[in-house]
Amino acid sequence: MKLNTTSQYAIRIVTFIVQNGANNKYTAKDISEKLSIPYKYMTKIMTLLVDGGIISSSRGREGGYSIEKELAIIKIGDILEAVKENLHQEKCVIGNGSCNKREKCILHDKWITAKKAMQEIFENTTLEDMIIR
């Protein structure tokens, strides 16, 4: 039970920027070094976050990454969505094809409950929550 590496990095990157001043600019080199994330792998993730509207980038000399949106409106779930983590996995836990409300697998109800708890974390935690600690 874990988030994949890309998702983990994505959250750490965004958290790093938010905690050090969202409107400041951070270069890929800087972020990569501070968070010990492989440079090339990181820039790949950055592109996803930029495309997803989480982070804004400026190219060229004096370029870098920052966060422009109102912090409060960006949720952890948005970050995960940007890097394609499948949050709303509807498939049966044990891969049982015919698992639905009518004909449930043995873990269905319990699993759904726990899964909802996870999803709520991602839906209810915003970037703003990351500053206060």
19, 20, 63, 114: which one binds DNA (CB under 7 A) = 63
- Which positions from 103 to 132 touch DNA by CB under 7 A, shown as an x/- string? ------------------------------
Among DNA, a second copy, none, the one that 20 touches (CB under a kind-dependent 5 to 8 A) is none
> The tokens of 41 are what?
């792998």
CB atoms within 10 A of CB 72: 10
- DSSP letter string, 33-66: HHHT--HHHHHHHHHHHHHTTSSEEE-STT-EEE
Six token digits for residue 9: 């990095």
Binding to DNA by residue 62, rule CB under 7 A? yes
Which of a second copy, DNA, none lies near 59, with the C-beta cut-off 5 to 8 A by kind?
Answer: DNA
- The reply on whether position 40 binds DNA by CB under 7 A is yes
Contacted entry of a second copy, DNA, none for residue 15, CB cut-off 5 to 8 Å set by kind: a second copy
Distances (CA, A) of 46 to 37, 56, 63, 115: 12, 9, 14, 28
